[in-house]
Amino acid sequence: MFRDDFVWGVASSAYQVEGTDPVNVRGKCIWDTFSEENPINTKGGNGLVACDHMHRYKEDFAMMKELGIKAYRFSVNWCRIIPDGVGEVSEEGVAFYRDLILSMKENGITPYLTLYHWDLPQALEDKGGWVNPEIVDWFGNYARVIAERFSDLVEYFFTINEPQCVIGLGYVVGVHAPGKKLGYKETTLASVNLLKAHGTAVLALRRYSVRPVKIGYAPTCTIPIPASDSPEDIEAAKKKYFSITKNTWDWAWTVAWFSDPVLLGKFPEDSLELFRGEMPEITEDDLKLMHQPIDFLGQNIYNGYYIKAGENGEPVDVMKYPGYQETGVHWPIMEECLYWGARFAYERYKLPIFITENGMACHDAISLDGKVHDPNRVDFLDRYLSALQQAVDDGVDVRGYFLWSVMDNFEWDQGYHGRFGIVYTDFVTLKRIPKDSAYWYKEIMESNGAKLAVNNGLWVRSARWHQEESSNLCKSK
Ligand code: FCB
């Protein structure tokens, strides 16, 4: 069972929900540019209006209260606080977020603030963005402002959301802002800058906050799932989870590259080997900076793939079964990823874990009865949360879960086409309609998970795999 003080929450990010205001103007960020330059980049969507949360947060928090939500992972848009990324602080921007946080708290919702969820000020991108080593100081300065202006109201912070996407999708393959396709030299440098920026932010948050604060980091990954419970398959999946491959698409999509320096104070051996001659010089002081003590690991987990032990125990991919279930954005549905993702991360890093994001995009629509029925999402969440509870039952220290997302919002390169919310957003009228899953999640939160399938004999870990295996639907590649 989950701990009595388990944190049940929901998540979102600034750019995806806030929208803009003609008077309370913020600085331009890379997603404004990316969506303007070529609307195809974001399927015609942009952050101009989004959910208009910046004008509706009071109603939104009142609705969240009704839905039993007590914790909210949200982010601050860097260029709303410091429009050019460095220099003058926008007092209007600070006042906006202070009021937003106060309103959240008035509704009994605890804030979990992420400093960076991808809205890099364009002015900094113009100077090279994450590739410019000066970003370490730029980000440290921003973290100081966050600490000074918000730590009286906020106790929990996350530094950077999904470094894999920041560097991999933004600078390696270019499907996210700023849409660059750079080589290994520049992108390993950008990664090192990001890791140092994280460390600098931790130092600034501790130093300038008005009280002791708790800090985490929120990386992501696709999880290798052992194809069976044999120790060999488990070992092979674990090996895969922490390994790195020199492949344009894949290399930045790794766990150890972005988490080992932060949590173990060193880069994984295989990465040093792989990027020999292409990585920037890294000193002992750099490693020390990256390795600032943090209080918990945030981990965003959505899906995975099967791995078995091949000859010599080396990881070998195993095909998914034909017609496997997938979400509205074609991500495979594999709840075991929450079990193995949490377990592997805990075994290696030994820090309490928050699942900082997990959820599902569906092709939701308003039915004739005026409601939004999303049985697929309820089923998804029941399976994933059951798997998470199983990890807890097996000794993994999981402290909380933030469902992505509180409401449908701007889904980056998918524009408005990936509906991840448990609340439906009508993007024409901006009306919110809680989906069936929101009411279901309320009951789960209230019962601290007692109503989950795993506690009612309806879900057993790996049941699906073995079932498929026995009917011989899964074949080795
Ligand atoms: C994650 C992002 C989040 C959202 C979800 C669906 O990678 O952190 O902003 O887009 O995926």
d(CA 466, CA 401): 27
Does 357 participate in catalysis according to the annotation? yes
356 lines ligand 1 (CB under 6 A): no
Q: Any idea how long the chain is?
A: 477
Cβ–ligand 1 contact at 165 (below 6 Å): yes
Share above pLDDT 70 across residues of the chain, in percent, rounded to a whole number: 97
Both tokens of 43, joined, read 């399927």
pLDDT digit string, tens, across residues 355-377: 999 999 999 999 999 999 999 99
Give the closest residue (by CA) to ligand 1 atom 10. Answer: 411
| Global pTM exceeds 0.85 | yes
Has residue 276 got a pLDDT over 90?
Answer: yes
Rounded-to-10 torsion of CA 121, 127, 128, 130: -50
The owner of tokens 């939701």 is 364
pLDDT number for residue 382: 98
Q: Does residue 187 line the site of ligand 1, with CB under 6 A?
A: no
Report CA(470)–ligand 1 centroid distance (Å): 35
Nearest CA to ligand 1 atom 9: 13
Q: How far apart are CA 185 and CA 187, in angstroms?
A: 6
C-beta 420 within 6 A of ligand 1? yes
Q: How many Cβ atoms are within 10 Å of 48's Cβ, its own excluded? A: 12
Q: How confident is the model at residue 249 (pLDDT cuts 50, 70, 90)?
A: confident
| Pairwise CA distance, residues 418 & 442, whole Å | 23
| pLDDT band of 153, cuts 50, 70, 90 | very high
pLDDT at 52: 98
* List 18, 125, 336, 357, catalytic entry: 357
Angle at the Cα of 70 from the Cα atoms of 56 and 304, rounded to 5 degrees: 95
State pLDDT tens for residues 206-229.
999 999 999 999 999 999 999 999
The vertex-448 CA angle with 446 and 452, nearest 5°, equals: 100
pLDDT tops 90 at residue 3: yes
For the cut 50, the answer to whether the pLDDT of residue 467 exceeds it is no
* pLDDT per residue as tens digits for the range 385-435: 999 999 999 999 999 999 999 999 999 999 999 999 999 999 999 999 999
How many Å apart are CA 290 and CA 357, to the nearest integer? 23
Q: Under a CB-based contact definition with an 8 Å cutoff, are residues 415 and 43 in contact?
A: yes
pLDDT score recorded for residue 476: 40
Token pair listed for 412: 């980056």
The pLDDT score that the predictor gives to residue 471 is 45
Q: Is the pLDDT of residue 477 over 80?
A: no
Residue 470 has pLDDT above 70, yes or no: no
Ligand 1 center to residue 162 CA distance, Å?
8
Q: Is the pLDDT of residue 466 over 60?
A: no
pLDDT per residue as tens digits for the range 162-189: 999 999 999 999 999 999 999 999 999 9
Report the C-alpha gap between 315 and 331 in whole angstroms.
Answer: 22
Mutational test site, ligand 1, from 300, 357, 380, 407, max ligand atoms within 8 Å of CB = 357
Query: What pairs with residue 318 in β-bridges?
Result: 306, 476
Question: How remote is the C-alpha of 72 from its chain's centroid?
Answer: 13
Contacts with 226 (C-beta within 8 Å, 6 or more apart), sequence order: 233, 234, 236, 237, 306, 307, 308, 340
Number of the ligand 1 atom closest to the C-alpha atom of 418: 6
Three-state SS string over the chain comes to: CCCCCCEEEEECCHHHHCCCCCCCCCCCEHHHHHHHHCHHHHCCCCCCCCCCHHHHHHHHHHHHHHCCCCEEEEECCHHHHCCCCCCCCCHHHHHHHHHHHHHHHHCCCEEEEEEECCCCEHHHHCCCHHHCCCHHHHHHHHHHHHHHHHCCCCCEEEEEECHHHHHHHHHHCCCCCCCCCCCHHHHHHHHHHHHHHHHHHHHHHHHHCCCCCEEEEECEEEEEEECCCCHHHHHHHHHHHCCCCCCCCCCCCCCHHHHHHHHCCCCCHHHHHHCCCCCCCCCHHHHHHHCCCCCEEEEEEEEEEEEEECHHHCEEEECCCCCCCECCCCCECCCHHHHHHHHHHHHHHCCCEEEEEECCCECCCCCCCCCCCCHHHHHHHHHHHHHHHHHHHCCCCEEEEEEECCECCCCHHHCCCCECCCEEECCCCCCEEECHHHHHHHHHHHCCCCCCHHHHCCCCCCHHHHHHHHCCCCCEC
Q: Mean pLDDT over residues 269-280, rounded?
A: 95
CA–centroid distance, 63 to ligand 1, in Å, is 22
Residue of 119, 300, 301, 303 best suited for mutating to test ligand 1, as the one with most atoms within 8 Å of CB: 300
Give the model's confidence band at 132: pLDDT under 50 very low, under 70 low, under 90 confident, else very high.
very high
The finding on whether 78 has its CB within 6 A of some atom of ligand 1 is no
Q: What is the pLDDT of residue 465?
A: 55
**pLDDT in the model for residue 184:** 96
Q: Which of 125, 162, 335, 336 is catalytic?
A: 162
Residue 250 has pLDDT above 90, yes or no: no
Ligand 1 in contact with 161 (CB < 6 A)? yes
Could you tell me if the CB of 410 is within 6 A of ligand 1?
no
Decide if 178 contacts 270 (C-beta within 8 A): no
Q: Are the beta carbons of 223 and 313 closer than 8 angstroms?
A: no
For residue 133, what are the contacts with CB-CB under 8 A and spacing of at least 6? Answer: 189, 193
Residue with the nearest Cα to atom 4 of ligand 1? 411
Kindly state the tokens that stand for 13.
């990010």
Ligand 1 center from residue 451 Cα (angstroms) = 27
Residue with CA closest to ligand 1 atom 5: 404
Q: For residue 405, how far is its CA from the centre of ligand 1 (angstroms)?
A: 9
